[in-house]
Structure 1
Amino acid sequence: MKQMIVHCSQHMTRMALLEKGRLVEYAAEREEQQGLVGSYYKGRVVNVLPGMQAAFVDIGQKKNAFLYVDDVLHPHLEKQPKVKPSIDTLLKPGQEIIVQVRKEPRGNKGARVTTHYTLPGRWMVYMPFAEYIGVSKKIGRESERNRLKVLAERLRKNEEGLIMRTVSEDELSEAVEGDLALLRGQWERIMRRARKAETPALLHRDLSIVQRFIRDTFDPRRDELRIDSPQAAREAEAFLSEISPEGYRPLELYTGTEPIFAAYGVEEQLERGFSRKITLDGGGTLIWDEAEALTVIDVNTAQYTGGASLEETVTRTNLVAAEEIGRLIRLRDTGGIIVIDFIDMDLEEHRKMVVARLESTVSSDRTKTYILGWTRLGLLEMTRKKVRHDVMEFSTRPCECCGGTGRTPIWKRGRE
């Protein structure tokens, strides 16, 4: 059973997801800075650059959006030409086009957009022109995978594509069919707006942070939802009744005098989880440093001396670290390249155990994560897809003294 704790202030909504009392996901969203990922725009092609195989599209944001040639070709790989065409044969300056945002704008870069349209629902992801059926790899039973494939093939029409999500496992066909009807209606509304709207125009915005988490991670019949805002509670309840018409566990409106995050121990776990130095169970430590291009995590035995030998001590520390790193990557929503400096182990068997522990932990992460293996220097490399703004951007700000480096130049401190 999971607990979803939502704190609403005047300008920000903060959401915490707990599993067995442990904080596993955290997200924040400012009212005036709701994310763009998943949103649809009617845009106009501004530049087509054959040398980059990309185009820039005006969608009404500060920076033009970036559209790569692979996001213009047919979404089904088997339908794509064997030789990739030049993008200037596909798009022309001034051309109006419907695009969906797949990556948030960041720094001096505009949003990354695509014409591979997707609409996620409770049980499936709807793709109006993909022409294929997919089933989540996390559904292990072959009989259930085959059932869902047959069901999806029966339900889809013409060029439609469907991906059955993990939560659709063992779900009634009536519920899946109802989800598809809602998604088809949503797509039709987007198309109607596109025909009437002047370019550039927002056609559809993705759900709010609370609604996204209810849709993607929440079991309405089993999990607990607690919100400290009457308005947000009403909106959440309306959304629950829409996606779970067969019934759901009543949500709780929190009215305590203590702040909701403090009452459920979220603040304390956030402070620990977002620290640079994290103490592990048993006494080991993690040092967590995030740079522009990658995240580096250093594992130390510190005060842990519990093994019968040095190799056993090191391996135990690394196993505990691997499990905690998997949880914290998800909690911090760390993306891009991640390099982990585990303590050196002599036996290949122990290195495999550490990788297996990390793979097991990240398997519950909804964001795509790839563990690439050990480098020649004994570092473990992995990557994690990044689509939204860092949680840290909403929750912290650089230190005014050190500018985020963690060190203050002595010439700024005057004479000592």
Structure 2
Amino acid sequence: MRQMIVHCEHENIQMALIEDGRLAEFAVERNSEQSVVGSIYKGKVVNVLPGMQAAFVDIGLKKNAFLYVDDVLHPHLEKQPKQKPSISQLLTVGQELIVQVMKEPRGGKGARVTTHFSLPGRCMVYMPTADYVAVSKKIERDAERSRLKGIGEQLRTGEEGIIIRTVSEDEPIDFIRSDLEFLREEWARITEKARKLQAPALLHRDLGLLQRLIRDSFDPYEDELVIDSLPKAEETISYLKDSVPGIEPKVIHYSESVPLFQAYGIDDQLKTGFARKIALPEGVTIVIDQTEAMTIIDVNTAKYIGGDNLGETILQTNLLAAREIARILRLWDIGGIIIVDFIDMEREEHRHQVAAAMEEAIRKDRSKTFVVGWTKLDLLEMTRKKARESMPLPFAKPCGACGGRGFVLPSGG
């Protein structure tokens, strides 16, 4: 059973996703710092850089947004030219265009934007110009994949593109059609606003944290949602009933005197789950170090003694660690390049088993995660896509004394 525990306080919303009693995901949104990922703007090109094959677009934020040439070409690979044109052939300074934010502004960098538009719904992602149908890889049955792909092809018109999500599995065509019609209307509203407004202008903002997570993560038939705000609980029930007619969602308004996160043991799990060194009950330890370029994860046996066979003990240690590392990646929302230093294994078969265990464990991850394979130094290389800033520690800031390095330099004298 999965539970979504939501704590609302002043300007903050904190969400904890519990799977089998353990913290699997944690997210925070401050109303004053609402994410712009997924938002659609009418922008104006202010600079075109052929050497970088990119342009900068004013969308009304503090920093101009970055638009790469690949995000200007047709979203369907088969419809792109065999030889990539110069960005200067596609865009000119002063040109107005509609763009969608795909990555948050970070540090001194502006947001990254694209013209490959996508509007996520409950059962599909609608792409008004993509011209293809795809089905979630998490739907494994060939017959069901073929049925859903056929429905997508039947429903779409013109150059519309559709990615059918896992929630559509075994659902009738009317369920999928209603979602498509809603998203079509949303896109029509966006294009109408673009026609009327001058750049830069906001045309569409994605849902807030609570509704977004309910749309993307919450199963209204199986999952339970506990929330300590009565207005938000009522709003959530209304949203779910509109999204999935005919259900009675499992939404509980928590009103006890004990704080919600304390009552559900989330405070304790946050303290241990975001530590640099994580010890599993079996005695295995995992150490996580983040740099600007990548994340390094080290696995140690610590107190785990396993059986009499050293090779099997190492294998079991690494298998335990692989499943836990997949959970850590989701919980910390780690993105980019990830290198895992498992305990050295002599047998190639064991390395295959560990990589397979990792691939199986990351199937629960909503973010696109890819196991690249083993390097020549027997390190497992992975990548994980993310659009928003990761949060190594909720509400935490780097230490003022050591600058986040983990140590304090001795004073001179």
Q: TM-score, normalised by structure 2?
A: 0.97
CA distance in 2, matches of 1:123, 1:296: 35
Q: TM-score, normalised by structure 1?
A: 0.97
Q: Once structures 1 and 2 are overlaid, which stretch shifts more, 235-244 or 38-47? A: 235-244
Q: Output aligned runs, 1:22-171, within 5 Å.
A: 22-171=22-171
Which letter does structure 1 place at the counterpart of 2:127? M
* Cross-structure match for 1:236: 236
Instruction: State the 1:395 CA deviation.
Output: 2.7
1:384 equivalent to 2:351? Answer no
* Cross-structure match for 2:351: 351
Q: Deviations over 1:48-69 (max 9, x none)?
A: 1111111100001111000011
CA distance in 2, matches of 1:393, 1:93: 41
Question: What SS does the aligned partner of 1:319 have?
Answer: helix
Which letter does structure 2 place at the counterpart of 1:105? P
Q: Once structures 1 and 2 are overlaid, which stretch shifts more, 340-349 or 245-254? A: 245-254
Q: Output aligned runs, 1:292-371, within 5 Å.
A: 292-371=292-371
Unaligned runs of 5+ in 1: none
* Cross-structure match for 1:198: 198
Which letter does structure 2 place at the counterpart of 1:374? W
Q: Output aligned runs, 1:209-248, within 5 Å.
A: 209-248=209-248
For the 8 Å contact 1:26–1:391, the answer to whether it is kept is no
CA distance in 2, matches of 1:25, 1:212: 14
Instruction: State the 1:107 CA deviation.
Output: 1.0
CA distance in 2, matches of 1:392, 1:182: 37
CA distance in 2, matches of 1:9, 1:48: 44
- Structure 1 pair 279–38 and aligned structure 2 pair: CA distance change class (3 A): same
Q: Deviations over 1:96-119 (max 9, x none)?
A: 110000111111111110001100
CA distance in 2, matches of 1:393, 1:90: 42
For the 8 Å contact 2:274–2:393, the answer to whether it is kept is no
Instruction: State the 1:138 CA deviation.
Output: 1.5
For the 8 Å contact 1:372–1:381, the answer to whether it is kept is yes
Which letter does structure 1 place at the counterpart of 2:277? K
Instruction: State the 1:399 CA deviation.
Output: 1.4
Instruction: State the 1:187 CA deviation.
Output: 0.8
Q: Once structures 1 and 2 are overlaid, which stretch shifts more, 4-13 or 236-245? A: 236-245
Which letter does structure 2 place at the counterpart of 1:345? M
CA distance in 1, matches of 2:205, 2:75: 22
Deviation beyond 6 Å, 4+ runs, structure 1: none
CA distance in 1, matches of 2:265, 2:174: 39
For the 8 Å contact 2:223–2:250, the answer to whether it is kept is no
Question: What SS does the aligned partner of 1:225 have?
Answer: strand
Instruction: State the 1:306 CA deviation.
Output: 2.5
Which letter does structure 2 place at the counterpart of 1:279? A
Unaligned runs of 5+ in 2: none
Which letter does structure 2 place at the counterpart of 1:178? S
Question: What SS does the aligned partner of 2:404 have?
Answer: coil
Instruction: State the 1:82 CA deviation.
Output: 1.5
1:252 equivalent to 2:252? Answer yes
CA distance in 2, matches of 1:316, 1:221: 35
Q: How many residues align?
A: 413
Instruction: State the 1:231 CA deviation.
Output: 2.2
CA distance in 2, matches of 1:409, 1:280: 32
Which letter does structure 2 place at the counterpart of 1:275? A
Instruction: State the 1:329 CA deviation.
Output: 0.6
CA RMSD of aligned residues (A): 1.3
Instruction: State the 1:200 CA deviation.
Output: 0.6
CA distance in 2, matches of 1:229, 1:156: 40
Question: What SS does the aligned partner of 1:199 have?
Answer: coil
Which letter does structure 2 place at the counterpart of 1:163? I
Q: Deviations over 1:79-129 (max 9, x none)?
A: 111221111111110011100001111111111100011000000010111
CA distance in 2, matches of 1:235, 1:136: 29
| Percent of aligned positions that are identical | 59
Q: Deviations over 1:231-278 (max 9, x none)?
A: 221221221122111213241111011111111111111111110010
CA distance in 1, matches of 2:288, 2:235: 37
